[in-house]
């Protein structure tokens, strides 16, 4: 369908307006997003609150549709306002132009990750309200900052605040990933990310010598052990077609720093590894192995590890009424879904950490995965179909 045929669709135009706000890292300005969301709240006839759990530059915006039984735990529909950097020279359309081509593809940073989901929530709420629907549970629609760089200025402090506790959240929906097939992935857990920094000390001196216990030798030993472990995970993934990337542990050397010039053996080398532990890995045993390898390498190695333990996954059986409601909605809609462990990190980890069940789901099937990529797009008909899907899911969840 030609782009001109979408110009009269109100929901598509709202979506494009939101996409044109360049809330882009490394220095996102969220104020235009806040003003846009205030106008959306006014149009929807919903109260809106702006919280600042970290500082005034990182607002959390929450629209609320009150339920008929306000004492029940509420439903949270979460999305993030920030988007990753762009390289305009690699785009065929302006990354914040929200252009629509002849195929109905809407090109913009955030079209998949994840301004689409936030606006689909609002479009679904608008449709439900226009039909005169009311639900037992209160629905909160949150728009948070900072997710793309870890959420430490957004959802992480927000879940620990009194403001969040007063929302009385019982269940949360957040982002998933587009699917190139007809199947919709549903994410119930995330791997445990461990940023591991090794500070490796060793003998220093002239490069013409063969000194023992140099930092380079120790780094080589550590790297060989970690790459051996990595190779085992690659083999698991290759040998079992049922496994996905979220089901295995990934290990990657991301940076090495050290040295002053080519003929001087440095006294210190710092190496950073991005490690994401699958749910079947015993975290304490893995950390013990790291300590053992440091000793085997020659000792005098310090290592630092971010976040230590697995966050419990969301229960996906009949004991979780929210899972049952979600599953029933997708089955009634005839959607083919597949439970998966999210390979990266989303704000759902903070929600689950405080004991609230959360699912990641983006209604984008038959769509190439383009999050963080050049020419990120979503088709207009896929977007509008997603609005219809959310209407059913939200209605089911809010009446649990």
* Active site (catalytic) residues: 82, 147
CA-based nearest residue to 201, from 218, 224, 177, 179: 218
Cα separation, 7 vs 174, in Å, equals: 28
CA-based nearest residue to 358, from 118, 122, 75, 20: 75
Cα separation, 16 vs 12, in Å, equals: 6
Cα separation, 396 vs 400, in Å, equals: 7
C-alpha distances (whole Å) from 77 to each of 45, 96, 170, 225, 370 are 17, 24, 11, 42, 22
| Residues forming a β-bridge with 107 | 99, 377
Cα separation, 193 vs 343, in Å, equals: 10
Cα separation, 322 vs 240, in Å, equals: 31
Which tokens is 380 given? 């207009």
User: Rg for the chain (alpha carbons), in Å?
Assistant: 24
Q: Could you tell me where the DSSP H helices lie in the chain?
A: 10-19, 31-44, 115-130, 155-159, 162-166, 215-239, 283-296, 321-332, 348-353, 380-398
Cα separation, 305 vs 311, in Å, equals: 16
């Amino acid at each position: 369908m030609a782009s001109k045929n979408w110009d009269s669709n109100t929901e598509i135009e709202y979506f494009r307006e939101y996409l044109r706000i360049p809330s882009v890292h490394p220095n996102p300005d969220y104020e235009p997003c806040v003003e846009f969301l205030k106008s959306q709240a006014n149009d929807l006839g919903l109260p809106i609150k702006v919280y600042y759990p970290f500082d005034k530059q990182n607002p959390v915006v929450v629209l609320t549709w009150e339920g008929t039984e306000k004492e029940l735990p509420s439903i949270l529909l979460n999305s993030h306002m920030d988007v990753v950097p762009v390289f305009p020279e690699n785009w065929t359309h302006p990354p914040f132009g929200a252009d629509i081509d002849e195929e109905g593809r809407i090109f913009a940073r955030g079209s998949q990750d994840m301004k689409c989901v936030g606006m689909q929530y609002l479009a679904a709420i608008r449709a439900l309200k226009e039909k005169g629907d009311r639900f037992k549970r209160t629905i909160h629609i949150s728009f948070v900052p900072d997710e793309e760089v870890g959420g430490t200025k957004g959802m992480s402090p927000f879940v620990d605040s009194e403001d969040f506790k007063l929302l009385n959240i019982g269940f949360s929906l957040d982002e998933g990933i587009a699917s190139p097939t007809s199947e919709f992935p549903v994410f119930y857990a995330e791997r445990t990310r461990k940023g591991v920094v090794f500070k490796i000390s060793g003998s220093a001196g002239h490069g013409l010598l063969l000194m023992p216990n140099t930092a380079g030798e120790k780094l080589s030993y550590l790297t060989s052990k970690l790459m051996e472990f990595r190779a085992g995970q690659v083999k698991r993934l290759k040998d079992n077609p049922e496994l996905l990337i979220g089901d295995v542990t990934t290990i990657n050397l991301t940076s090495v720093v050290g040295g002053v010039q080519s003929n001087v053996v440095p006294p210190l080398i710092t190496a950073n590894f991005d490690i994401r532990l699958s749910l079947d890995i015993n975290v304490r045993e893995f950390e013990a192995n790291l300590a053992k390898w440091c000793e085997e390498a020659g000792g005098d190695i310090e290592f630092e590890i971010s976040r230590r333990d697995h966050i419990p996954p969301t229960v996906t059986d009949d004991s979780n009424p929210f899972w049952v409601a979600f599953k029933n909605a997708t089955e009634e809609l005839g959607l083919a879904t597949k439970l998966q462990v999210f390979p990266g990190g989303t704000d759902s980890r903070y929600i689950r950490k405080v004991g609230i069940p959360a699912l990641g789901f983006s209604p984008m099937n038959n769509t190439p995965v383009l999050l963080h990529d050049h020419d990120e797009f979503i088709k207009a008909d896929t977007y509008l179909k997603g609005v219809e899907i959310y209407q059913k899911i939200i209605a089911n969840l809010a009446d649990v």
